[in-house]
Amino acid sequence: MSEIDLAYLPVVGRGLQIKIICAMHKIKLNYLLSKPMGDDFDKDNEAPFGTVPWMKDLTNGLELNDSMAIVQYLVSKYTGPLTPKNPEEAAKIAMYWSWSQDYYSFVLSPFHDIITGHNEPFWRNLRLTDTLAEGGKDTGIANLTKLHSTRSGFLEKHLSSSGVKSFLTGDNCSYADIFLYTCVRTVQEAGGFGILRDACGGDPFADYPTILGISEEVGKISEVIETVGSQFKDCPI
């Protein structure tokens, strides 16, 4: 049986998508909590890039230290429902996954700074943007809320004009749909993102029905339901 060790943190972040992929592809997952939020793994000394997620495939010893590398490896090495069927589909899935990666990096991650009071050095290490460097908290929230709307608007317009319905690339769920789902549900339910919900006057994705519809379809998958449980409501970010 395929089996991996995965080191991450007790948050949704980039880790939950990997948990869901493992569940859907029948991969046994040993979840390790990394420092500074756990003692199972020391990212600074054990991960090649000093970051998480980090993965080790226990069947062949392969170690990977990047969420894209981990995701693409798992769906190609251990084929299942999320494995692309051809190069064209693989390219489109990677493109849509990259949207969520950018959204996470430029919107959700900077929000972490505000939610945590900008006091956790870990969250600011290697951060792409420093939301509180200029203008303070209110300006940071306003700027990130605008960026959320801009990024979501581009994706919604593209999906709507492309005739997308159930999932990003057609009738079947992909790993890109999984990451999009975790991003949407995080801002809808995680406690810390109440500041974004307040800034948007409710659900931050209310004006993006195609994105919402895809998230809702992913949320109906049995392995997703079982893996997620109450994590979105339980996790602060």
Q: Give the CATH number for residue 58.
A: 3.40.30.10
Task: Name all contacts of 217-223 with Cβ < 8 Å and 24+ positions apart.
Answer: 217/166, 217/167, 217/173, 217/177, 218/167, 218/173, 218/177, 218/178, 218/180, 218/181, 219/181, 219/185, 221/24, 221/173, 223/20, 223/23, 223/24
Domain stops at, among 45, 77, 109: 77
Residues 69 and 97 occupy one common structural domain: no
Residues 13 and 102 occupy one common structural domain: no
The H or E element containing residue 131 is none
- Confidence (pLDDT) at 129: 52
Domain stops at, among 77, 109, 136: 77
Residues 175 and 220 occupy one common structural domain: yes
Residues 96 and 206 occupy one common structural domain: yes
- Confidence (pLDDT) at 114: 84
Residues 28 and 114 occupy one common structural domain: no
- Confidence (pLDDT) at 138: 86
Residues 63 and 154 occupy one common structural domain: no
CB of 172 within 8 A of CB of 122? Answer: no
Residues 31 and 63 occupy one common structural domain: yes
The domain total for the chain is 2
Domain membership of residue 51 (yes or no) is yes
Q: In the structure encoding, which two tokens stand for residue 72, read together?
A: 């693409």
| Mean pLDDT of the chain, nearest integer | 92
Residues 122 and 55 occupy one common structural domain: no
Scanning the structure block, which residue is given the tokens 């998508």? 17
- Confidence (pLDDT) at 137: 82
Domain stops at, among 77, 99, 123: 77
Residues 92 and 167 occupy one common structural domain: yes
Instruction: Report the candidate in 184, 194, 165, 197 with the shortest Cα–Cα distance to residue 228.
Output: 184
Residues 29 and 104 occupy one common structural domain: no
pLDDT band at 128 (very low <50, low <70, confident <90, very high): very low
pLDDT tens digits, 41-91: 999 999 999 999 999 999 999 999 999 999 999 999 999 999 999 999 999
Domain membership of residue 136 (yes or no) is yes
Give the CATH number of the domain where residue 157 resides.
1.20.1050.10
CB of 25 within 8 A of CB of 82? Answer: yes
Domain membership of residue 223 (yes or no) is yes
Task: Specify which residues 176 forms β-bridges with.
Answer: none
Q: Domain residues for 34?
A: 3-77
Q: Does the pLDDT at position 132 exceed 60?
A: no
Task: Specify which residues 41 forms β-bridges with.
Answer: 34
Domain membership of residue 222 (yes or no) is yes
Task: Specify which residues 56 forms β-bridges with.
Answer: 5, 63
Percent of the chain with pLDDT over 90: 80
Residues 69 and 127 occupy one common structural domain: no
Q: Does the pLDDT at position 212 exceed 70?
A: yes
DSSP class of 167: B
Contacts of 125 (CB under 8 A, 6+ apart): none
What does pTM read for this prediction? 0.93
Q: How far is CA 39 from the centre of its chain?
A: 23
Domain membership of residue 82 (yes or no) is no
Residues 30 and 11 occupy one common structural domain: yes
| Mean pLDDT, residues 124-132 taken together | 53
| Mean pLDDT, residues 4-19 taken together | 95
